[in-house]
Amino acid sequence: MNVGLIQLVTPDGCHDVSMTASELALPLSELLAHRGFPLNTRCGGRGLCAGCEVELRTGALRCLGDDTPPPAGASGRIKACQARAGAGPVTVEIPARSLQNHEPAVVSEFRINIPWARDPLVPGARVGAAVDIGTTTVALLLCDLATGKVLAEASAFNAQIRFGEDVLTRIQLCSTDPGAVARLQRVVVDETINPLLAEACNRAGIGLADVGAMTVAANTTMLHLLAGVDPTPMGVHPFRAAFLEHRQYAPRELGLRFGGDTAEVHLLPGPAAYIGADLAAGMVATGLLYDDGPALLVDVGTNGEIIAKVGDQLIGCATAAGPAFEGAGLTSGTRAVQGAIERVQLQSEPFAAKLGIIGGVAVPLGICGSAYVDFLWEARRTGILQTTGRFTDAFCVRAGDHVQRDIHGRKLRLHPRGASGPIWVSEVDIARLLQAKAAIAAGMVTLLSLLSVVPGDVKTLYLAGGFGLHLSLEHAIGCGLLPGLAVNQIQMVGNTSLGGAFLALQDRSLLDEMIAASKTMKAIELNLQPGFENAYIDHLALP
Amino acid sequence: MTTLEQLSEAVGAGKAKDAKALTQRALDEGARPGDIVDKALVPAMAEVGERFKRNEIFVPEMLIAARAMKEAMNLLEPHLVAAGITPKYTAVIGTVQGDLHDIGKNLVVVMWKGANFRVVDLGTNVPPAKFVSAIQEHRPQLVGLSALLTTTMPAMVETVRIIRTSGCPPVKVMVGGAPITQQFANEIGADGYAADAGSAVDKARALVGAA
Ligand code: B12
Ligand code: FES
């Protein structure tokens, strides 16, 4: 029997959600997820992020433990993970930035720089699936193993996101809840990989039984969770992984639904706890492994991995940049999805912003990473920002109501009418971006100095990851993300994790190369590098 | 402008090289080390903290200022020790076991030094027993615990518990770090929490009764 009713207001209209008596105690964020409105529960519902904020229009919500009203944040919004609906009717608005968007942008684009053979990893298989399990996004492609042709692609958010946005939150869950490993394993297999596989097979016009092989590249935590291995030791010093080596399974051992009795699943090998198989795959696909260098592979993501090669020296680190360049935790930030602003061009006098929006839609959803990179550079170029990341006083005077002040500081309006109100870039957002930028820049400078190389000597920097292939390199250099480099030294390579998985499917010798790369690469602990903290602070400023 | 005023300005603006050179110049000109701290560094860091609280500067600018302050302190500390100058209050601080992050903790160290605390920094990955023995040795009024990882928050719980039950002299415990909240601090029985190094100073002074 239904005992409660919530009226939801989302950017695309109104929806009625009814509740049963047993659901009255559920956190609102969980109830909404069950009803098809998953929120960006980045901290796993612990009240630490603002990803689940909703606005209470009418009626009353309650705290989880008692009947008092939940506290509203500075923005006047309420954290849905800390609130529950009572029996009375309520109207709740979900702003676009809190709503998890189920259309990740192109994640299957990659560049392969090496030649490969047609010597499939699983002899006899007709079709193979290559999978990249990202903490946020999972991408899959099907490949005809006889011709090497890509048959279909599919991608979706990793359903584990609702247990926490970053790997550590999921690791923490495993260390406190004995059932969590099995639950996270089932969630990624049943809710993400199996549906993606079915979707891709459907598109390719083949049956699940035709797929005879799967290769999986991912960060070490995601591989643990796929294999059902407890990642707890990776959460605290000395950050040890339970396994890094290549592993082979039968699909049904992992709950994967494809193939017949001879089908195989291969988990690719990785070098270290925080430099995973995704990077081993990338080292092979980009050809970094065969490059005498000096060469760099930089993956701008939450973990911000960097690998450097000079002669036969191969070292790598994770800079832990955080998710700012993925749009997380910023006032109007969003992932690179349909409706996201992906390019920004600015004019200071009079102020004007020219925006490029993914899919060309009229009402933007928010701003994604590549546009934040544009913004940093453009705003410096036009005298809107100081090197400290603060708006210049001169600009604030002439910008009129484009610049506004709230309790957190100043913010600049890029668009008056986005999907949930105006689109802003605040000074706090800029400070977060500068911290992420500084972590990557400092990691890069630190690795290079260990090899006695200066950025100008780098022959090739392979830029992989989140930005896909759509970033302006001039602006990435100009805002100090890749200090000391020039455009002609950089090659954008896209999702090389998927690219490497795709290669391993077709050429078994490349799996051996990934194993060798993982063994050879030496992981550098940045916290033990005396120069890192200084470099981090140096790179906080804008050039 | 006097050398001390220039020094104060250099620290506030985060000019590390100038701060070092001006500290040396002040010493050469015969300024007393204690005065350099009281008249240049303490007001400079107080100003930085105030501007941070008013949202006029953010973490990046604060880190840059703190680095300048650190340069000055590195030069001064041997002189202060030689002159027998010891601040009235002592604090012990460290990053809890399992965690290696220390940039934020180092910032708190500088701000506390800037507020004229003697600070004993135990570094990172500090086991509870090490906190206890440092408390016994240095008799601080205040202990600061830092954790930056979701997964090391339990180590913070454990450290507070062990400090409380170890029978070491009574001490106020303050916690901080990006994933820590006031609510968490209350739950684990800490005496204080600060979200940033600016408010960490006010909180620390209040806890030791100096405010
Ligand atoms: C720099 C950094 C590192 C450096 C640390 C260098 C060092 N010497 O500290 C390196 C690269 C080594 C590192 C490693 C790791 N990191 Co790290 N790191 C960061 C980063 C980029 C910045 C942290 C920082 O210094 N901020 C600046 C300071 C000034 O802020 P703060 O620390 O919050 O401190 C302020 C307050 O919290 C408070 N405060 C802090 N301590 C205290 C104490 C007291 C008593 C008080 C009152 C106040 C207080 O005052 C400070 C000043 O205002 C963050 C992401 C980000 N952008 O924030 C990730 C981050 C903290 N790291 C993270 C992770 C996961 C790791 C790793 C485990 C894995 C990895 N990805 O590499 C490893 C650990 C392995 C290892 N070997 O250490 C995650 C944690 C996620 C989570 N949910 O817990 C973060 C959030 C990034 C992310 N989203 O993935 N990291
Ligand atoms: S605050 Fe609700 S999920 Fe993070």
Number of domains in chain A: 2
Kindly state the DSSP code that residue A151 receives in the 8-state scheme.
E
- What CA–CA distance (Å, rounded) separates A277 from A271? 7
For ligand 1, which residues put their CB under 6 angstroms from it? A 166, 168-169, 239, 274, 302-303, 318-323, 435-436, 439, 525-527, 532-533, 536; B 59, 63, 100-105, 107-108, 144-146, 148-150, 174-179, 194, 196-197, 200
Closest CA to A182 of A248, A236, A229: A229
The answer to whether residue A248 sits within a structural domain is yes
- What CA–CA distance (Å, rounded) separates A383 from A503? 46
Across A70-178, where does the E strand assignment appear? 78-79, 83-85, 90-93, 127-133, 137-144, 150-157
Residues A260 and A126 in one domain: yes
Per-10-residue mean pLDDT, chain B, length 211:
92 92 95 90 90 81 90 90 86 96 92 91 96 96 96 96 92 95 93 90 92 63
Distance from the first to the final alpha carbon of chain A: 62
- Ligand 1: which residue has its CA nearest to atom 5? B101
Residues A63 and A125 in one domain: no
- Type of residue at A146: A
CATH code, domain with A271: 3.30.420.480
Q: What average pLDDT does the structure give for chain A? A: 90
pLDDT in tens, A156-212: 889 998 898 889 999 999 999 999 999 999 999 999 999 999 999 999 999 999 999
Q: Are B200 and B176 in contact (CB under 8 A)?
A: yes
The predicted complex's ipTM stands at 0.89
Ligand nearest to the CA of A166: 1
Residues of A in contact with B152 (CB under 8 A): 235-236
Which of A270-274, A321-325, B66-70, B125-129 is predicted least confidently?
A: A321-325
Q: Which of B109, B148, B205 to mutate to test the pocket of ligand 1 (most atoms within 8 A of CB)?
A: B148
Strands lying side by side in the sheet with B89-95: B117-121, B89-95, B142-146, B172-176, B192-193
A82, A98, A114 — which closes off a domain? Answer: A98
Helix pair A496-506, A508-520: axis angle to 10 deg: 130
- What CA–CA distance (Å, rounded) separates A84 from A82? 7
Is the pLDDT assigned to residue A462 strictly greater than 50? yes
Is the pLDDT assigned to residue A2 strictly greater than 70? no
The answer to whether residue A259 sits within a structural domain is yes
Q: Which domains does chain B have, with CATH numbers?
A: 3-82 (1.10.1240.10), 89-207 (3.40.50.280)
Residues A75 and A128 in one domain: no
Kindly state the DSSP code that residue A167 receives in the 8-state scheme.
H
Give the angle subtended at the CA of A391 by the CAs of A385 and A395, to the nearest 5°.
Answer: 95
Residues A187 and A121 in one domain: yes
Identify the bridge partners of residue A516 per DSSP, sorted by sequence position: none
Residues A93 and A215 in one domain: no
Mean pLDDT computed over A269-277: 97
Please provide residue A26's backbone torsions phi and psi, each rounded to the nearest 5 degrees: -70, 145
Owner of token pair 């009079």: A350
Q: CB distance from B57 to chain A under 8 Å? A: yes
Q: Containing domain of residue A250, as a range?
A: 105-283
Asked if B97's CB is within 8 angstroms of A237's CB, the reply is yes
Is the pLDDT assigned to residue A236 strictly greater than 80? yes
Is the pLDDT assigned to residue A104 strictly greater than 50? no
pTM for the predicted model, two decimal places? 0.87
Across A386-453, where does the E strand assignment appear? 403-406, 409-418, 421-426
Collapsed DSSP state (helix, strand, coil) of residue B34: helix
Which of A329-343, A412-426, B9-23, B132-146 is predicted least confidently?
A: A329-343
Helix (H) or strand (E) holding A306: strand A305-310
Across A41-200, where does the E strand assignment appear? 53-58, 61-63, 78-79, 83-85, 90-93, 127-133, 137-144, 150-157
- What CA–CA distance (Å, rounded) separates A490 from A482? 10
Asked if B103's CB is within 8 angstroms of A536's CB, the reply is yes
Nearest-Cα residue of chain B relative to residue A164: B150
CATH code, domain with A58: 3.10.20.30
The answer to whether residue A19 sits within a structural domain is yes
Asked if A428's CB is within 8 angstroms of B67's CB, the reply is no
